[in-house]
Amino acid sequence: MKTISQILLIFLFTSILYSQESSTITAVTVYLDGAEINRKATVNLKSGTTEIIFNNLSPDIEESSIQISGLKGASILSINYGINYLSKQKQKDSITALQNELEDMDKKIRAHYNLIAGYNEEISLIQSNKRLGNENEVVNLEQLKSFASYYRERITDLKSDIDVSNQKIKDYESSKLDVSRQLAEFNVDEKVQTGEIKLKLNTVKSEKLDLIITYNIKDAGWFPMYDLKAEKINSPINLEYKAHVYQNSGCDWTDVKLVLSTSDPNTNNERPIVNPKYLNFISPYSNYTSQRATKSYNYKYNPSVKTVSGVVTSNSDGLPLPGANVIEKGTSNGVQTDFDGRYSLKTTTGNKLVYSYIGFDTEELPIHSSIMNVTLNEGAQLDEVVVMGYSSSPGSSGSYTTSSIASKDLVNGLYGSVSGIRIRGASSLPSKNNLLFIVDGIPVKEKAVKNIDPDSVESIEILKDNEATSIYGSRASNGVVIINTKNHSTKKVNDLGVRIDTGITNIRFEIDKTYSIPSDGDITVIEIDRFDVPAKYDYFAAPLLNENVFLTAKIGNWERYNLLPAEANVYFEGSYSGKTNINPSATTDSLTISLGVDPNIIVKRTQRNDFKKTTFIGSNKVVYKAFEIEVRNNKTLEIQLTLLDRIPITQNRAIKLDDIDTGTSDYDKEKGILKWTIDLRPGETDKVNHSYAIKYPKGKRINL
């Protein structure tokens, strides 16, 4: 029979110790959508099993992202995350004061309603007992006057008191509305619950651990914003790169180390799988539509945008689309474009806009800017079927060779451009074209490989034939070149003290000083970089679409600035000129930025009446078109203007273009674009002309 002491000893060895520990946020990596939180906690473990509860955390933690480090000899038995509905988030003092003020005003409103009820009861009592005297007693005149005076004065006083209370209620309701609006401005979240992480650890001896708890949250992020400042033409543009950081996670970030990353952990990283497509007949009445590829956009949701405006145009001819639908996704909030394709929409709770028009593909974009000009593509009318033949032959079964040589000639040696340098395995590749390049585990284009600093290359491997396709599939049929670098990133510190870590797939901005960012959804602005950007200034006009003249700046080698698509505030000659959008996702070698409209340059496009006519030749109708564009420089400086117009392109054999006169323009026949470069002295006027004729069958209509 076991003694009490033995039972107690067994209980001590088999029991689990419980403790609640506090933790502090020390560092945060903010993504474009979401954030990684790093917390530090010091815990003292006794030998055996201990369950630790970390409470007062965000209620929006992604459980699968939780990581624990700093364990020393301890081992993790389990990690669980849950919501504690009894533990409430601590509100800031300013918010608590406003909420208390609301409660106090509610009490005062109820008190005045009670007073009004009492006043009305007294009035009712007086009115029900206003009969004087009885059958045996007659009220004399003096008594009547006295009672009448009392009734009048008391009823008047009661009515006045009711009016005073009603006015007080009205004033309190107005004050409540102001306080409620202020609370809304603070983005007060109605959720009051907190998150908890329960960590069960086991250790054979007592340990003091400095634990690091890392996890991801969703209700946070940052988006870029630029300030473009140009003092005068032909001077560099000062570009200020700013990060707008926000978070509403339920926990304030106080004096934390911030890292801003251009990654987005919420992006779908699953590569698409291309399956065979089998052609078959379908009913002409079916709603079948061909599959459309998912477009690649770098735009991210900007929560500070409250009103979006822009123009919706057609991709085929650039003309505005009147009556196009613009709807905030997930809501009934929407508008239609006007005759000029313009729209303006106040946003509510959605974070995307959906653009649609009959006969055009629907576009869906994050609300990323207060100016969103959208071009819609015409919907496919007929699927095109291309039948291709191919043959295959058994590939060689040789194994791949590796090279661990590191020299500055290694990358160039792959192409045989360096005398005496040969990469083992490269000479036997089927082709040097369409190779698959993998740099530090990431597929990249050949252009990116040529830009790698050869000194940073640690090793190159060549995969070919079956060895390549078995790992990377058919895209590796011509061979795979695997490059590993010594350091998978390039780092620098800019003039603002921000450490910029440029990796293969993202950029990290490590901020030098600590920041405090409250959990209220408000924006904290952090300047992360600044450049003096050489630019070529030019004036631009396309009067067939817009008769305004725009000042533009063209930036070369823009990829070195690590910019993201974003809105920019433009300042020219010391004054605010408006907003524009920067889209570095373009495939062009230069980035063109619009700096605003210059009203001192006048452009007018008119159709020449002496050339405007319609004739009939046999069964065909011929329409003659001729245009004159007049440009005047009312500035005190000489300018250069790029002027664009177009001549239509036929897509039907029955529609023919004749008598094309492109004047002095540089004519792109494939696109039908006319381009003039015009130099104008102060006060000078110039004119350009172009014309064409369209012949098509009578009785038909075309989109002139």
Q: How confident is the model at residue 295 (pLDDT cuts 50, 70, 90)?
A: low
Element (DSSP H or E) covering residue 480:
strand 480-485
Residue of 508 and 521 predicted with greater confidence: 508
Contact 690, 661 (CB under 8 A): yes
The pLDDT score that the predictor gives to residue 401 is 36
Q: Mark out the alpha helices in 74-140 (DSSP H runs).
A: 93-128
Rounded CA-CA distance 14/577 in Å is: 73
DSSP string, 428-469: GSS-SSS-EEEETTEEE-HHHHHTS-GGGEEEEEEE-HHHHH
The pLDDT score that the predictor gives to residue 384 is 41
What's the rounded mean pLDDT across residues 79-86?
Answer: 86
Third-level CATH fold of 307-367: Immunoglobulin-like (2.60.40)
- The CATH number of the structural domain formed by 17-91+191-218 is 2.60.120
Q: Which residues, in sequence order, are bridge partners of residue 49? A: 16, 202
Residue of 590 and 550 predicted with greater confidence: 550
The pLDDT score that the predictor gives to residue 148 is 77
Which of 168-182, 188-202, 316-330, 440-454 has the least mean pLDDT?
Answer: 440-454
What's the rounded mean pLDDT across residues 409-429?
Answer: 46
Rounded CA-CA distance 140/93 in Å is: 68
CB atoms under 10 Å from CB of 687, counted, come to 12
pLDDT at residue 674 above 90? yes
Q: In terms of DSSP bridges, do strands 48-57 and 193-203 run parallel, antiparallel, or are they unpaired?
A: antiparallel
Contact 216, 37 (CB under 8 A): yes
With CA atoms as reference, report the closest residue to 480 among 491, 472, 489, 490.
472
Which of 198-212, 404-418, 524-538 has the least mean pLDDT?
Answer: 404-418
The pLDDT score that the predictor gives to residue 422 is 43
If you average pLDDT over every residue of the chain, what do you get? Answer: 80
The pLDDT score that the predictor gives to residue 412 is 53
| % the chain with pLDDT above 70 | 77
**345-370 CB burial, b ≥16 within 10 A, e <16:** bebeebbbbbbbbeebbebebbbbbb
Q: How confident is the model at residue 592 (pLDDT cuts 50, 70, 90)?
A: confident
What's the rounded mean pLDDT across residues 446-457?
Answer: 68
Tell me if residue 630 falls in helix, strand or coil: strand
The DSSP symbol for 399 reads: P
Contact 423, 432 (CB under 8 A): no
Q: How confident is the model at residue 139 (pLDDT cuts 50, 70, 90)?
A: low
What's the rounded mean pLDDT across residues 255-267?
Answer: 88
Phi, psi of 368 (to 5 degrees): -115, -10
pLDDT at residue 683 above 80? yes
The pLDDT score that the predictor gives to residue 150 is 79
Contact 702, 690 (CB under 8 A): no
Which of 81-95, 258-272, 334-348, 400-414 has the least mean pLDDT?
Answer: 400-414
Q: What's this model's pTM, rounded to 2 decimal places?
A: 0.64
Q: How confident is the model at residue 679 (pLDDT cuts 50, 70, 90)?
A: very high
pLDDT at residue 398 above 50? no
pLDDT digits (tens, 9 = 90+) for 462-488: 877 766 665 666 667 778 888 776 655
Q: Is the CATH number 2.60.40 carried by domain 601-697?
A: yes
